[in-house]
Structure 1
Amino acid sequence: MSVASLRRAARESVSGLPREFWWLWTSTLINRLGAFVATFMALYLTLDRGYSASYAGLVASLHGLGGVISSIGAGVLTDRLGRRPTMMIAQMSTAFSVALLGFMTDPVAIAGVAFLVGMASNASRPAVQAMMADIVKPEDRMRAFSLNYWAINLGFAFSSAGAGLVAEYSYRAGFLVEATMTLVCAVLVFLKLPESRPERTEKEKAAEPEVSLGTVFRDGRYMGVVGLSFLISLIFQQGYVGLPVAMGTDGFSSSDFGMAIAVNGVMIVVLQIPVTRYIEHRDARRLLIVSSLLAGYGFGLTAFAGSVAVYALTICVWTLAEIVNSPTQTGLVVRLSPVHGRGRYQGVYTMSWSVAALIAPLMSGFVIDQYGAAWLWAACAVLGTVASLGYWLLMRGLPEEAAVSHEAGVEAGVEARVEAGVQERADSPAPATA
């Protein structure tokens, strides 16, 4: 492919998206540039503090438990209070709790504050996803979700490599840098992003029942997607809880892990946009089946790794699964979510990842301590196979553009509200409060 073709592809990939999306994208990028703690928590507890892999798994699971609890509440707040205030509350709480965690020395205190960090850091996800669905047209959403995931990994590519160097100097510095960057995100949301929550008209209220959490849990196909999301995230979580512990057990340093896992971020930065252009209009069922198999067997190959280079090679395999799975699955979730219940639906979807974050560390710590890492990687291969079969069964008969017609009358109103919010900020001498 020529340079001119690459430039044209890049322009087409980023064109046509609203300004508010790019501010949201920038906030995501800043947040991930400072994401040190989650990446190196396991190494911090095992190598720096001298705790066992089981204790490190317990702390990470408490972090995940906090996310499970907050995801549902944050989804409700996103629908009731709004996207913007929910994000600001979550980000400011995250900044405070992450900074506090860096000064904890008692094992009980570390576990307790890690739980608070999990609650705060996970609370912004339903709001971010709901706002993105609000402000981006249905036909552009897969591209928007892909670009947002690209921003996550662009930041991760730099933060993971930088965090390895920071960890060699001071883990506490990593906690403080992440807290500062998260606070910057809250300021950016306050200054640049208007509220995007669609308001229901009286006619819509009379025609459609109010979306509750019970509505979400009774939606059989959607809950099937949530369950499969849990299996996939349980696999991917091992890259950040099982893999660093396994590499540490094999005698590799935090810098070695940083170099290996940075391949994940770099590969997504390089391939996310061209791969998304290739898969954008292809069969979602096939994409989800193939990505599930790549994820499971990519981690399964880790059982044969004995050097940083081989670890990096296995990371390449399951990273390709991430590149395909993330925008495809997120787009499916939005398609199955009613417009006026996006916060709750996104909250339940986020919960699947939070439950996986709760279980994965316990799973990896127990299996590695009792049986060895090879059994953990074999379990990942089995989970990937089960997930691929589940997608094959679940996606049969799903309309290609489900729920798009239902949204058509709402999108114009949302865009008008966003534009009005931007104009109000331009005319106002000071930013409006949340």
Structure 2
Amino acid sequence: MKKMYINYLNNFRGLSREIWLLSLVTFINRAGAMVIPFLSLYLVNSKGFTLPQVGIIMTCFGVGSLVGTWIGGRLTDRIGFYKVIVASLFLGGVGFVFLQYLNSFYALCTGIFLLILIADAYRPAIFVASETYSKPENVTRSITLIRLAINLGFSIGPLIGGLIIANIDYSSLFWIDGLTCIVASLSLFILLKPKKVAKDAPKTILVKEGVPPHLNGFFLLFFVIMIANGVMFVQYFSVVPLYYEKAHFLSEDLIGWLLFLNGSMIVLFEMPLVSWLERKKVSKTMATFWGVILLAASFMVLNLTSWSGILIIGMLLMTLGEMIGSPFSNALALEMAPKGRKGSYMGLYSMSFSFSHIFGHNGGMNLVDSLGYDTTWTIAAVFLGIVGIATLWLYYLLKKSPRFITT
């Protein structure tokens, strides 16, 4: 046991102080993000919206994320990741506090669009920051540490959020989420000052190598794969919580415990797993492939039995796929981005998840409304099987290219 503990700690050695600070701030921010996992339940149970209406509201969530990540990527290249992260966290926190006072369908569509636009400008900036403060050989582990901070917060936040809903009300979540975003912004501003440049230092000219992301055929295929995978992954943040409640009659606090299982597994096992896969020199593209296949399996098992314990197995499979696929797909996107264009590439990479929110929530809600949960899970599994084939094709194409021989 002691040896396992020492080996676990060794996975974190060599990472810079700045990466640890970014991870701390990210944890503070994500620990308060209790609203998002329960948003679909909030809209149905507290606001009385139908599933198609919830799907449209969540589409506005996706559109806001799309615009926000695009703006965030552009701003990161122009003004730097530091200003983008601080402003996104602070203004996003203010937005979460005010969101609870919106009641009408159109007001919520507009409010969620604007809120997520501001909040998701954070995403491309944090990816660029993780590379900036890392040695080349530590980039994947740095991303993994930041993901660990996200998931540590995610595991604690929904658990507490579920207990708050069960014992108090939904309104408290908005206050906690907003205030923790503001605290995260202020913490970053205090703890991580940007490096000062001497007044007499010569100005550096930013040289952009390669082509923009929308002209990179390999990256566009990767972008489509990420959208398709994300369309199914986001079901775990809208349709699946409703499935837990409506089909298996779980209360909000039990749903919080299931989400806690996801986050706690990632905290305990993702870094050792990623380090082990790196030592085995597993291809980043193949790791992405296995992430897709395990996500497909997580949906397929839900149709095997009506026993509620299958929900735990499904969550474990999804989490394993996330632990393998997400850090390596992040690292693959950074590796495919030429110098001087990191912000644009990571902005487009982040936008893939925004497109997933646009199509995923609305599509999932309408599928369930028309065909039921069981058919929806079968469609998800088959669709992800096709995505897996596309990922194998990308692996073949990259392997033939001299520049990407190791991906």
With structure 2 as the length reference, what TM-score do the two structures score?
0.92
Equivalent AA in structure 2 for residue 271 of structure 1: F
In 2, Cα distance between equivalents of 1:99 and 1:392: 44
Tell me the amino acid that sits aligned with residue 30 of structure 1.
Answer: I
| 1:342-399, Cα deviation, whole Å (9 max, x unpaired) | 1111110010001101111101110011110112211221222122111211122536
Residue identity opposite 1:215 in structure 2? P
User: 2:182 corresponds to which residue?
Assistant: 183
2-structure distance, mates of 1:21, 1:401: 31
What amino acid is aligned across from residue 329 of structure 1 in structure 2?
A: S
Residue in 1 that maps onto 2:63: 65
Query: 236, 242, 245: which is aligned to 2:233?
Result: 236
Deviates more, 1:391-400 or 1:349-358: 391-400
Match of 1:220 in 2: 217
C-alpha separation in 2, matches of 1:312 and 1:80: 44
Go from structure 1 to structure 2 and tell me whether the alpha carbon gap of 1:45 and 1:197 turns closer, same or farther (over 3 Å shift): farther
Query: Contact conserved, 2:398 with 2:404, CA < 8 A, in 1?
Result: no
The aligned length equals: 397
Structure 2 equivalent of residue 124 of structure 1:
122
In structure 1, distance between residues paired with 2:135 and 2:12: 14
| 8 Å Cα contact 2:208/2:339 also seen in 1 | no
Q: Counterparts of 1:386-425 in structure 2 under 5 Å?
A: 386-396=386-396, 398=398, 402=403
- Go from structure 1 to structure 2 and tell me whether the alpha carbon gap of 1:10 and 1:252 turns closer, same or farther (over 3 Å shift): closer
Q: SS state of the match for residue 290, structure 1?
A: helix
Aligned amino acid, residue 231 of structure 1: A
Offset of residue 252 of structure 1: 2.8
Q: SS in structure 1 opposite 2:282?
A: coil
1:191-206 equivalence runs, <5 A: 191-195=190-194
Aligned to 1:173: 172
Over 3 Å counting, the alpha-carbon distance change for 1:305 and 1:80 in structure 2 is farther
Q: Is the 8 A contact 2:11 2:275 kept in 1?
A: yes
C-alpha contact (below 8 Å) 2:212/2:345 kept by paired residues = no
Q: Distance in 2 between matches of 1:196 and 1:394?
A: 39
Distance change in 2, residues 1:193/1:383 (3 Å): farther
Task: Provide runs of 4+ in structure 1 moved above 6 Å.
Answer: 201-204
1:134-283 mapped onto 2 (5 Å cutoff): 134-168=132-166, 169-195=168-194, 208-209=207-208, 215-250=212-247, 251-280=249-278, 281-283=281-283
Q: Deviations over 1:298-351 (max 9, x none)?
A: 122223353442211111111100000011101101101123111111110010
Question: Structure 2 CA distance, aligned partners of 1:120 and 1:366?
Answer: 27
- Per the alignment, do residues 197 and 130 of structure 1 end up closer, same or farther by CA in structure 2, a change over 3 Å counting? farther
Matches within 5 A, 1:308-347: 308-347=308-347
Task: Give, in whole Å, the separation in 1 of the partners of 2:62 and 2:148.
Answer: 23
Q: Counterparts of 1:197 and 1:267 in 2: how far apart (Å)?
A: 39
Match of 1:303, as an amino acid?
N
Residues 1:397 and 1:53: Cα distance change in structure 2 (over 3 Å): closer
Which AA in structure 1 matches 2:69?
S
Matched, 1:368 2:365: no
Q: Which moved more, 1:267-276 or 1:359-368?
A: 267-276
Alignment partner, residue 26 of structure 1: 24
Quote the offset at 1:51 in angstroms.
1.6
Taking the aligned partners of 2:42 and 2:285, their CA distance within structure 1 comes to: 39
8 Å CA contact retained: 2:18, 2:192:
yes
Alignment of 1:41-52 (within 5 A): 41-52=39-50
Which consecutive unaligned segments of at least 5 residues does structure 2 have? none
Deviations 1:174-201 (A, max 9, x none): 0010000000111122122244799xx9
CA-CA distance at 1:83 after TM superposition: 0.6
Corresponding residue number in structure 2 for 1:304: 304
Range moving further from structure 2, 227-236 or 71-80: 227-236
State how far apart, in whole Å, the 1-side matches of 2:306 and 2:176 are.
Answer: 33
Report if the CA contact (8 A) 1:135-1:196 is conserved: no
Inter-partner Cα distance in structure 1 for 2:139 and 2:209: 25
1:243 aligned counterpart, secondary structure:
helix
Residue equivalent to 1:427: none
Alpha carbons 1:335, 1:401 under 8 Å: kept: no
Identity of aligned pairs, percent? Answer: 23
Higher mean alpha-carbon deviation, 220-229 vs 250-259, is at 250-259
Change (3 A) 1:330 1:298: same
Evaluate the alpha carbon distance shift between residue 115 and residue 8 of structure 1 in structure 2; reply closer, same or farther with a 3 A threshold: same
Query: Who is 1:87 aligned against?
Result: 85
Q: Give the root-mean-square deviation of aligned CA atoms.
A: 2.3
Summarize the Cα distance change of 1:333–1:92 in structure 2 as closer, same or farther, 3 Å threshold: same
1:136/1:144 contact within 8 Å kept = yes
